[in-house]
Structure 1
Amino acid sequence: MLENDVFYGEDQDYTNGVKFIWIPDENSQTPEWALNSARFIPWFPQAGKVQHGYAFGQSMFTPSDITIVDPPEGERPYAGWLYAAIGLASEKNQQLDQVSLMIGVIGPAALAQETQTFVHDVTGSDKPMGWDTQLSNEIGLVISHKHSWRELLSYDLLHNKIDVSPYVGTALGNVFTYANAGFTLRYGKDLPNDYGPPRLQPGMPSGVDFSLNSPHLGWYLFAGVEGRAVVRNIFLDGNSFVDSRSVEKFPFVGDFQFGFVIDWKNIRLSYTHVLRTEEYRTQQVNNDFGALTIGVKF
């Protein structure tokens, strides 16, 4: 999965994210630790189908002008986030509960400077000059939960299907702390048993089957809205325990996203375009970016 602001012709703020996700096949035996952990979570349905997943990823954040060695006050700080995640999901009666634990490192150890410098060298883009001002090394931890309702509303329209799937969630940690809510509207043919395409920030490594009901090509268009009440965002607030660069964040942030999904046999291709409201008071432009995901079911 790749998220990048190059889809919008920019190179600033949340500029790049990549994540690799592995979810064991639904027909494989769920390990005892996953079943026991799911039963231990009080709001998980006890009779639900339990899945688990793993992820590894890196995200990077930069100011508006990466050619400046010492970005001026009010610019978003340089920051990298390298992490691993493990997630559990339990589904029953078209409702999905997901819990994930992300642990990683923020700062030079996240290797974001090396990654961006290498990519810009290969592509002939501007060399990023200000990484010496990035956030300091810090262990990052995020625990998140999301509850989704699939097809809460569903209709037939022009020989295809349209449905609405709302969700609510929370995240707690020194990297992100927020509460969020939103919904996804899907319209298409042979809608798969999913809850919309995945996203990175902070993202859930667990999920559900996306195989089609038939071997024919399936597709759908989607649009969604999400609102977040943000208490903590280390990439805006700065390091937790040492002095670092920071900006004054807005407590409420909204996303509008739209895109398409194409499924054929065991392959999925999806693209999501995200329009995000301003996250901090000195932000010069909205941080809009695209997300490209390729999934293969073995």
Structure 2
Amino acid sequence: MTLFSKQPANEPAIHAKAPNSTRSPVQPSVSILLITLLLSWSWGASAESVNGAWFLAVDNDTFAQSDDHYTNGLQLGWVSGYLKSFEEGPVPGFVGSALGHLPRINRKDRQRFISHSLSHRIFTPSDTETSEPIENDMPYSGLLFASLTAGAQDAISMDAFTLYYGIAGPSARGEAVQNEFHRLIKVDRVHGWDNQIGDEILLNVAYEYRRRLWSFGSTRGWGGDVIGQAGGMLGNLMSMVTTGVGARFGWGVPDDYGIPPQFFGEESIGSRPYTSYGTHTGVWLFALVNGSLIGNAIFWDGNTFKESMSVDYDPGIGRLYLGINARTGNWSASFAVTKTTVPWENPENRSVQTYGRIGIRYSY
């Protein structure tokens, strides 16, 4: 069993059933997140030379004809243009001043950027038909969180620091989102949400480093690169360390760091070219393999400070991403298939989960 298990290996992996009384209105939590996000975008956003890009990413295991484990994710993000200092970016002045003291991202001759995002994620066990608690499988959980990223890049490497803040539990409205989507696509309701984890405020920090290990060809024609990835997260959302390597090949591959981020990472980071796009249109394939060691994850371990459903798991997890990216002018779109190991003995004895990701970006 795992080093990080919450109970001895010879005890059941299930904790107490979350009571129905844990349900609470969504309006306060969602409103606070949205207001905070909008304020952070607008406060100090008067810097002249700031051009940006909007991102939308959707994860869903419907692409793999399943409906369990990590079953749905939605992320809306924005990234700034390049900044001379973080104080001129879209953050409060005291935040920009604090970011100016972080290591690595404040070295001279690096392109600085700030990114914001809002994410919603849903996790469920394999059996979504029963209303009874399920042993030895992932608990029901919904996550709603925002993030602020400050990063910098040059021709060889990119560094990014991220702060996550939000809520897990009934107030994140995972049940409503999933069952409304099921109603729209005319499939059965999910019945086990009474067993979801309880409400908990989320607070996390993360760091990610990417380095261009090799490049070939040209950004004006056929070419590609190999990019290394390393990073980590710490907090009650998730604590982990990750390392991986990605490769891209095609027509008009930009000199950015556009590989899939570590889990929960922002799609927007690493997305801006170091110089400029070499072609008006481009199409390229990408692949990434990475591995993580997990210290804690609220969607597996359950609530941090009170009893809830949870599952025992091994700390090691691997992921493989395969996809395609196409760009024309200011618009780009991508599709990727992700395969990730399932590090616990689940009722269906599945060792791999598959889900798809669709991404859309508009630059201005």
Distance 2:259 2:113 in 1: 17
67, 72, 87: which is aligned to 1:16? 72
- The alpha-carbon deviation at position 174 of structure 1 amounts to 0.7
1:206-221 to 2 correspondences below 5 Å: 206-210=269-273, 212-215=277-280, 217-221=281-285
* CA contact 1:12–1:63 (8 Å) conserved in 2: yes
- The alpha-carbon deviation at position 61 of structure 1 amounts to 0.3
DSSP-derived class of the 1:40 partner: coil
1:142-291 to 2 correspondences below 5 Å: 142-150=204-212, 152-156=213-217, 160-199=222-261, 201-204=263-266, 205-210=268-273, 212-215=277-280, 217-282=281-346, 284-285=349-350, 286-291=352-357
Structure 2 letter corresponding to 1:8: A
For the aligned residues, what is the CA RMSD?
A: 2.0
Range that drifts further, 15-24 or 27-36: 27-36
289, 293, 298: which is aligned to 2:359? 293
Range that drifts further, 30-39 or 262-271: 30-39
Distance 2:261 2:232 in 1: 15
Counterpart position of 1:7:
63
Distance 2:153 2:162 in 1: 15
What do the CA deviations read for 1:189-247 (whole angstroms, capped 9, x no partner)?
111122224458311254442562222x2011011110101111111111101111111
Distance 2:324 2:135 in 1: 39
Unaligned runs of 5+ in 2: 1-56
Q: Does 1:106 align with 2:168?
A: yes
* CA contact 1:228–1:254 (8 Å) conserved in 2: yes
DSSP-derived class of the 2:208 partner: strand
- The alpha-carbon deviation at position 94 of structure 1 amounts to 2.3
Structure 2 letter corresponding to 1:213: G
Structure 2 letter corresponding to 1:275: K
- The alpha-carbon deviation at position 92 of structure 1 amounts to 2.3
* CA contact 2:83–2:113 (8 Å) conserved in 1: no
DSSP-derived class of the 1:202 partner: coil
Distance 1:91 1:268 in 2: 21
* CA contact 1:271–1:292 (8 Å) conserved in 2: yes
Distance 2:242 2:83 in 1: 32
113, 137, 140: which is aligned to 1:78? 140
DSSP-derived class of the 1:287 partner: strand
Q: 1:220 to 1:258 in 2, by over 3 A?
A: same
* CA contact 2:86–2:100 (8 Å) conserved in 1: no
TM-score of the superposition, structure 2-length normalised? 0.77
Distance 2:262 2:215 in 1: 27
Counterpart position of 1:36:
97
- The alpha-carbon deviation at position 9 of structure 1 amounts to 0.6
TM-score of the superposition, structure 1-length normalised? 0.93
DSSP-derived class of the 2:353 partner: coil
DSSP-derived class of the 1:118 partner: helix
- The alpha-carbon deviation at position 154 of structure 1 amounts to 2.1
Aligned length: 295
- The alpha-carbon deviation at position 155 of structure 1 amounts to 2.9
Counterpart position of 2:51:
none
Distance 2:152 2:83 in 1: 15
Calculate percent identity across the aligned residue pairs.
28
DSSP-derived class of the 2:100 partner: helix
Q: 1:28 to 1:22 in 2, by over 3 A?
A: farther
Greater C-alpha radius of gyration: 2
Range that drifts further, 132-141 or 42-51: 42-51
